[in-house]
Every structure is written in structure tokens, then in C-alpha cells.
Structure 1
């Protein structure tokens, strides 16, 4: 019989998105159950796509003590029933709840992947509370996997856990990237021409693109401000914002929303299922985020041959090599962002698209990440083959 492995996220979109394809691969070696909050038919769809079982446990992304205790109890009962050899969690709330429940249930290998630390942008009593929760999660886990080397540094600086409990899998990233899927050759000229026409983008336009949640901590306020300035003196210019707002958790400033509404050169596409065509018609990714784990979009853009302007945060500053596939700016620095965007438009910054792609395919192809994680699982279980 295959050993049992449970993979857990707070919401199912993380289970299907962050780990896409990985669970199907791992199911060759493990009996896998995916656990996440119920959300319509999402879990059933994951079962079909990944070829695994799923189990619903309601988990919230906010601080909800009563609901959280209920979720811990449900997870505990699940673990006692299934007797998994490994419980591996992703996302903050799922990590805290499942690591506690797994420890109480006596699960031998309790693994948690860190893909960003929201607390780095928090202060005061809330920061103290989040620090405590983070330490508690790590204490319940037997192994912690930061998905970027920069996260390891932050964890150690804050004394969340000991160095020997930490390990970065492969070169970073939770799932790597399917570079066959994210390939500029997959998008035909006809598709690009049609999309340009729909978005009113002309051949002479230079296109900056952002992909992600349209929220404050992604640097959207700074991006819109910088673009608003530069677009006043450059008519052949567009900014594509590919993503949805998240007004409840991190709303944009009123002046940012007004600028987005009033400037015809700023195009908000909303959520899209396939970002590749939008990356294919762009000239440069702009990603001035305040915090990340290991940002998929920077890898995706690179695999599509795009250079990137990114903020100097973990993940971004590991994927981007200054001068080779993009440039790195200080966090929350509108003037620095404006300067780099101008330099790109003036061709003071130039990049080779094939080199941009190669730097992703060589380091972050998803099979490399999957194989490294499988090797880690097998090492923990004493099944690793000698090299």
C-alpha cells in the first residue's frame, strides 16, 4: 500500500492553483487527500483534475477563534481516521490549524510550506499576535519549507524557529512553472492581434503589464502613480492590470481608483483564466509588490520572454538577476519605479527575450521542483535512493 499524504490549504483555489499538477504526480508514490474549505464544486473539480480524494473543512482567512477551534477538531478527527504518514500544509491559516491538529493526532511528519509572510507589513499588537501564531505553527511542525531563500532569512531574523528546521526545496518556488505551457510560441499572432484590437492597443504602443490582486500591498498605488506621470508625456503607452480588487482586506487609495478610472491608457481586464495572451502582447512586467513568497507571475512572465521591474523583496530578487532579465527597485519607491519605467521606454534598459526565458527554464521548471520535493518526502520516510 502507498503511504498516506494529506495536502492542506485554507481555500481550494490555493489547492488547485498553487499545487496544480503536483498532486497528480505525487499520487504515483502516495495515497493523497486534498483538504480545504468547501467552495461549490471546486473540491470535486480538483478530484477530477488531480486524480486524488478531497475532504472539506471550513477554514477562514481571518482571526475567528470559535471557527478555528472547530476546524482543528475536524482536522484532528480526519487525521486520527486516516493515519497519514505526512501532513503537508500551505497558506497561513491552514498551516496553524493543521499543524496543531496533526501534532495532537500524532502524525509523524508535519510539514508546512511558507509562501510569503503577511505579518511583515503589520505593526503593533496585531504584529505581536501574528508573531506568536507563526512561532506556534513552526513549533507544531517537524519541518518548515520557505519557498524562497529570502524567507529563510526573515524567519531566522525574527527567531520564529531554529535553522535546522528550515529547508528550501530545489531553487525555490512551491510548484515551479510549466515552461511548456508558459511559452510565447503557444500564443499565435492571430490571438495577439485579436486581443490588441479588443483592448484598443496599437502596434506602436509600449505595454507594461501587472498580473495579480489589485491591492495596496502589491504596489498598485505606486504603479498607478508612476504610470500616470509617465503617460502624460507619452501617448504610445498602455498599462494592463490583470486581476481583481480585494476591497475587504486591502483596498486601494481613492486617488488610485480615480486615476485608473480617468486614464484611458490604464486597462483593467479583471480576472482572467489564462494570463499568457496578456503577457504575450506586453513588453515588460511591472511587479512592485511589498511582500511575496515566490511569485508565480514573475516566473510566468519570464518564461514568456518578458523582462520585469520588481521590488527588492524575497522571491522577486531571486528570480530577477539585475541587468539580465530585469531590474530591481526599492520597495514602496514611486520615484525609483518611474525612473526604471522611463529607462525601459527610452531603451536605456534592454533585455534579450530568449535569455529571460532561459533563466526560468534552467532554474524553475516544475518537474525539477516536484522531483526535489519527492526526494525530500522519501528522505523523511527513509525511502530515498542512494545517488
Structure 2
């Protein structure tokens, strides 16, 4: 049995953090030791859930981009721990980590891309640094993984013949979602006969919350029985003032992290996901497993996730989103059981988690 270190930024709820948590719940017992190394120096909302898994320990230590001492300490950590596998989920920014792993004679070095574009404000200096660490990641990784072909098309378009590249889609256990029948309309003071549009995702530019609110304003002003519910890290703080200023606070409900996502999804009639950029969205997959009709952006990673769909629009197409949701509202749309079955089959967690596990062997 092998000793493995997984590098992530922190443990607040998000795509990477939830993916790794689900994988470790499924497979941690197959390793002799698992270290989750938070290189942002902080834990987060999911920390206790990680610590409940046998074999898992957490290290929180900030590793700066330019701090040589941090990397000397990392070399000492690698050599002292005698690890067999290093897997870094931070894409290009794994470059220096994998270089240190190579110097420490760790044979299995994996970079896992979880986004399909740069997620930082692009300046000349940052892009220069990004190119350097990408070259290091490419040179020192023994496996290069992604949860979407879109990520490889963006980061490595001219190098895809390399046998180290492998796409491993997200796995989601449907039994954790579909057996829950309750909803939260009573708790949220939403009438049963209202129409509810929902979104799950942390508050950042990629999730395109500003467009969500603009679409909500148009719909609610025309149809007062439409409600929006949104949850995710930073959502309540990030949107509360704007929603109040627009006099939407009665019909737009904002929440931070919730651990009752299946009931949250059950509260919706339509799932709205207008992201500007994504890797492969766990939250959209969960909504599809629930059979929720959805309206989403037409970016390549979402197209790859949902397949053919007429409900995809440019991320800034406010009118397109408005008309699509309005049509669902007029039709009083119901759950799509065929969508559920297709999604469960495509994102079979047993098959996909075993695929990831084999890359770590």
C-alpha cells in the first residue's frame, strides 16, 4: 500500500475539495497513508469531514510562489515522509511542487487540471510566471490529468499526443442525492405553487453571479411568483447589498455553504448555471442527476458535460437566459428522468474513481 500526498489550496467547499473528499471516502483505505496538504495555509468548511476519514491527515502550510525557504521545507517534508505518490490539483501551479518531488526521488508525480482556463487576473508578470510553472509541470509530471478535454485544449493544445495525458471525468454517487425527497420551501417561506430557479456555487467572477441577478430582476419584475435561491461560499455577503438595492430580497434568497444540497436542489424547478469558465462542474452534474431542467452557458466544458442541449447560451446573453427560463416557467416543466439516467451512467462514480485510483498506483 502506498503513501500519497494530495496538494490543494484549502478546504472550503468547491469543486476540487468536494471531488477529493468523495474520492477519499471511497478509496482512502487503499493507501497506507494519505496527506491532504493545504498549500494556501488554511483549512475550511470541509476540514472535519476529511478528518473523519481513516488514514487521512491534513497539513496546512502556506507555500508562496517565490519563497525559496518554503520549497526547502517541502523537500525536507518529502524526504522525511518517504512518499510514493504526489498529486497536485492546482494545474500549472503544481510545477514547483512536482520539481521538488522529482528532486526527492518520488516516482509517481501527477498534475490534475480542474479548470479549463486561467483563473487569475492576467498581467505580463503573472503570465510569465504561469508559463514557467506550466513548463515545470509538463516536464516533471509522470501523469497529466484533467476532468475535461476543454482544459487540455486550453493549456496543452499542441502537445496532446503525449501518452501521459488522460481525461478523468468527475464521479458522483447518485445514492447520496436522489433518495432524498424533502425540499426547503417552507423553511425559505416560498409558496408551494411558486416557480423556483436555483444556483449552487461559490461567489467569484467565474460563476457569473452578476448575470444571475440581472436575469432574476427581469423575471421577478414580470412574474412575482418566481423565486431565486443561491448558495455557496461568499454568496450571501457578496450579493446581499445588491439584491436589497434592487428590492429583490423577498424573492431572491441567499445562503452561504449548506450541507443539505439534495433538499436545496429539490426546492428548485430549474437549475441556472451561466458560468464564464469551468473545469467540469460537479454542481451541474448533481442537478442533472436530480433530473432538474437546466439553463446554462455554452462554454466548451459545459457542452462536454451536458452533451447536446438547446438550453445553452453565451454567458452574457441575458435575454437568451431570460427567455429560456420564461419558457420553462410557462410550461410548468417537470423533472426529466431520462436526463437523470443518462447522467448517472456517464458519471458513474465507481468506474471514474477507480480510474483515478489506477493513475495513482
TM-score by length of 1: 0.81
* Structure 1 position 49 matched with structure 2 position 52: yes
Aligned partners of 1:121, 1:48: CA distance in 2, in Å? 30
* 1:33-112 aligned within 5 A: 33-37=34-38, 39=42, 45=48, 48-59=51-62, 64-66=65-67, 69-92=68-91, 95-112=94-111
Q: CA deviation at 1:64?
A: 4.9
Aligned partners of 1:40, 1:242: CA distance in 2, in Å? 20
Note if contact 1:9-1:95 (Cα within 8 Å) is conserved in structure 2: no
Q: CA deviation at 1:29?
A: 3.2
Note if contact 1:205-1:236 (Cα within 8 Å) is conserved in structure 2: yes
Residue 292 of structure 1: SS of its match in structure 2?
coil
Residue 213 of structure 1: SS of its match in structure 2?
coil
* Structure 1 position 187 matched with structure 2 position 181: yes
* 1:199-210 aligned within 5 A: 199-210=188-199
* 1:232-271 aligned within 5 A: 232-245=221-234, 258-259=245-246, 262-271=248-257
* Structure 1 position 23 matched with structure 2 position 27: no
Residue matched to 2:291: 305
1:198-220 deviations in Å (ceiling 9; x for gaps): 21211221100010112332111
CA RMSD of aligned residues (A): 3.1
* 1:1-387 aligned within 5 A: 2-13=1-12, 17-37=18-38, 39=42, 45=48, 48-59=51-62, 64-66=65-67, 69-92=68-91, 95-117=94-116, 119=118, 122-125=121-124, 126-157=126-157, 163-169=162-168, 172-173=169-170, 176-183=171-178, 185-188=179-182, 192=183, 195-245=184-234, 258-259=245-246, 262-323=248-309, 327-347=311-331, 352-378=335-361
Aligned partners of 1:137, 1:256: CA distance in 2, in Å? 42
CA 1:135–1:308 in 2, change beyond 3 Å: closer, same or farther? farther
Aligned partners of 1:149, 1:70: CA distance in 2, in Å? 36
Residue 77 of structure 1: SS of its match in structure 2?
helix
Aligned partners of 1:226, 1:16: CA distance in 2, in Å? 29
CA 1:59–1:278 in 2, change beyond 3 Å: closer, same or farther? same
CA 1:203–1:107 in 2, change beyond 3 Å: closer, same or farther? same
Q: CA deviation at 1:255?
A: 5.5
Q: CA deviation at 1:368?
A: 1.5
Residue 75 of structure 1: SS of its match in structure 2?
helix
Note if contact 2:92-2:133 (Cα within 8 Å) is conserved in structure 1: no
Residue matched to 1:382: none
How many positions carry a matched residue from both structures?
Answer: 356
Which stretches in structure 2 are left out of the alignment for 5+ residues? none
CA 1:121–1:223 in 2, change beyond 3 Å: closer, same or farther? farther
Aligned partners of 1:77, 1:243: CA distance in 2, in Å? 37
Q: CA deviation at 1:154?
A: 1.2
Q: CA deviation at 1:262?
A: 4.0
Note if contact 2:270-2:292 (Cα within 8 Å) is conserved in structure 1: yes
Aligned partners of 1:45, 1:342: CA distance in 2, in Å? 41
1:88-143 deviations in Å (ceiling 9; x for gaps): 11135872442122122121111011101451674341334334333333333221
CA 1:35–1:291 in 2, change beyond 3 Å: closer, same or farther? same
Aligned partners of 1:321, 1:65: CA distance in 2, in Å? 41
Note if contact 1:5-1:33 (Cα within 8 Å) is conserved in structure 2: yes
Aligned partners of 1:252, 1:16: CA distance in 2, in Å? 23
Structure 1 stretches of 4+ with a deviation exceeding 6 A read 40-44, 251-254
Q: CA deviation at 1:229?
A: 0.9
Q: CA deviation at 1:224?
A: 0.7
CA 1:28–1:268 in 2, change beyond 3 Å: closer, same or farther? closer
Note if contact 1:10-1:94 (Cα within 8 Å) is conserved in structure 2: no
